A and B are shown apart, each in its own frame.
Chain A
Amino acid sequence: DTEVTQTPKHLVMGMTNKKSLKCEQHMGHRAMYWYKQKAKKPPELMFVYSYEKLSINESVPSRFSPECPNSSLLNLHLHALQPEDSALYLCASSQEGRSSYNEQFFGPGTRLTVL
């Protein structure tokens, strides 16, 4: 199984809502990532988890809260988002976060719209 799955595929939420994005992989990878991708732009790194510990936070606003319950699961909790947070949110995983030559496997993304 070389797949990273993400749910939901689409999400529409109001600025006062609380929602969560979910990412799952069963490749035995120990590093997992969240990226944000705006239309016609490259992905931008948000968070890196390595061995279930938050290793990198790219100065992401606190209205985004990541969680890694176990080595296969990665969540992104959303609260009080702004319309400019509307984007495609991509999850990725790799064998091990400290090896820069490892490829990252990407999920299909969650298309988030904040009204």
Chain B
Amino acid sequence: AQSVTQLGSHVSVSEGALVLLRCNYSSSVPPYLFWYVQYPNQGLQLLLKYTTGATLVKGINGFEAEFKKSETSFHLTKPSAHMSDAAEYFCAVSEGTGFQKLVFGTGTRLLVSP
């Protein structure tokens, strides 16, 4: 079964600093990988996804992630944090056979201080 590990339940950065949220996956087949963001009391919004092709994926709100097969990683980055980026971030992997089932990591709460 596929799985996702997100290192760090909380990450704190200052406004303007680099954001790095870590995600490692386990999969026996080429994975489809997703990053979702959840603001308080809201649903999940897709930031970006990797399916095939270019390993550097650009998403919304200035976020990007790089798929590294050799490291089984899909870390999320943003060059300069904004206060509005404070939220919960979930990395997810999609099982590639049968019906789509998203398997989520445990989430990382991003805190941004002025």
| B interface residue count range (under 10 / 10 to 19 / 20 to 34 / 35 or more) | 20 to 34
Contact, CB under 8 Å: A94 / B104: no
Q: How far is the CA of A42 from the CA of B101 in the complex (A)?
A: 14
> Which B residues are in CB contact (< 8 Å) with A111?
41
Question: Chain B contact residues: over half helix, strand or loop, or mixed?
Answer: loop
Interface residues of B in 58-107 (CB under 8 A from A): 90, 94-102, 104-107
Q: Does A100 sit within 8 A of B, measured CB to CB?
A: yes
Q: In the bound complex, do residue B99 and residue A43 qualify as a contact, i.e. CB atoms below 8 Å apart?
A: no
Alpha-carbon gap, A100 to B49, bound state (A): 11
A22-61 with Cβ < 8 A to chain B: 31, 40-43, 45, 48, 50, 55-56
Interface pair A101/B43, CB less than 8 Å apart? no
**Nearest-Cβ distance from residue A39 to partner chain B, whole angstroms:** 11
Interface residues as binary, A82-115 with B (CB distance below 8 Å gives 1, 0 otherwise):
0000000010101001111111111111010000
